Amino acid sequence: MDCRTPQEMSHPVAFRRAGLSLFPSFVPIFTAALLQLSCTAALAQRQRFETPNRNAPRTIVECELLTDNRGAPLQAQEWGRVFQRLEVELLVRRGTLNEKLETKEEPFGRSRTVKIIGKLNRDGTIQFVDRSFSLAQAAALAEWLQELKTYGAQGAPTGKPAFGLNPQQFAVVYTALSVEVKTELQGLSLETALAQLTFPSDLPIRMSIATRAWLKTHPEFGGVAQPVAGLSQGTALAITLNQYSLGFRPLRTPSGSIELAVEPLSKVKERWEIGWTLESLDLKRLDTAPELFKIVTVNLDNVPLTEVLANISEKTGIRILRDDHRLREMDIDVDEMTVSILPRKAAWSSLLKTMTFPHRLSSELRVDEVGTPFVWIAPLSVGRQSNRR
Instruction: Point out the domain boundary residue: 272, 300, 317.
Output: 272
Regarding whether 266 and 176 lie in a shared domain, the answer is: yes
In CATH, what number is assigned to the domain containing residue 326? Answer: 3.55.50.60
Give the DSSP per-residue string, 25-50.
Answer: S---HHHHHHHHHHHHHHHHHGGGSP
Examine the pLDDT at 310 and tell me if it is beyond 90.
yes
Predicted pLDDT at 156: 66
What are the pLDDT digits (tens) for 126-144?
Answer: 999 989 999 999 999 998 8
Predicted pLDDT at 208: 87
Regarding whether 225 and 304 lie in a shared domain, the answer is: no
In angstroms, rounded to a whole number, what is the distance separating the alpha carbons of residues 192 and 169? 28
Instruction: Point out the domain boundary residue: 272, 299, 327.
Output: 272
What are the pLDDT digits (tens) for 253-293?
Answer: 887 889 999 999 988 888 999 999 999 999 999 999 999 99
Question: CA torsion sign, 234 to 236 to 237 to 242?
Answer: positive
Residue 1, domain member (yes or no): no
A 10 A CB-CB count for 80 gives: 22
Regarding whether 175 and 125 lie in a shared domain, the answer is: no
Regarding whether 135 and 106 lie in a shared domain, the answer is: yes
Provide the number of structural domains found in the chain: 3
Regarding whether 262 and 213 lie in a shared domain, the answer is: yes
Average pLDDT for 227-250? 96
Residue 180 structural domain: 161-272
Residue 97, domain member (yes or no): yes
- CA separation, residue 71 to residues 2, 25, 93, 264 (Å): 7, 17, 8, 52
In angstroms, rounded to a whole number, what is the distance separating the alpha carbons of residues 323 and 25? 65
Q: Which among 74, 83, 94, 96 is positioned nearest to 24, based on CA atoms?
A: 74
Task: Mark 356-378 as b/e (b = at least 16 C-beta within 10 Å).
Answer: beebebbbebbbbbeebbbbbbb
% of the chain surpassing 90 pLDDT:
64
Regarding whether 146 and 45 lie in a shared domain, the answer is: yes
Residue 388, domain member (yes or no): no
Residue 385, domain member (yes or no): no
The structure's pTM equals 0.65
Residue 345, domain member (yes or no): yes
- Beta strands 132-133; 126-127: pairing state: antiparallel
Regarding whether 127 and 33 lie in a shared domain, the answer is: yes
Q: How high does pLDDT run on average in the chain?
A: 83
Regarding whether 267 and 284 lie in a shared domain, the answer is: no
In angstroms, rounded to a whole number, what is the distance separating the alpha carbons of residues 296 and 308? 14
Regarding whether 139 and 24 lie in a shared domain, the answer is: yes
Predicted pLDDT at 25: 35
Regarding whether 80 and 22 lie in a shared domain, the answer is: yes
Regarding whether 101 and 26 lie in a shared domain, the answer is: yes
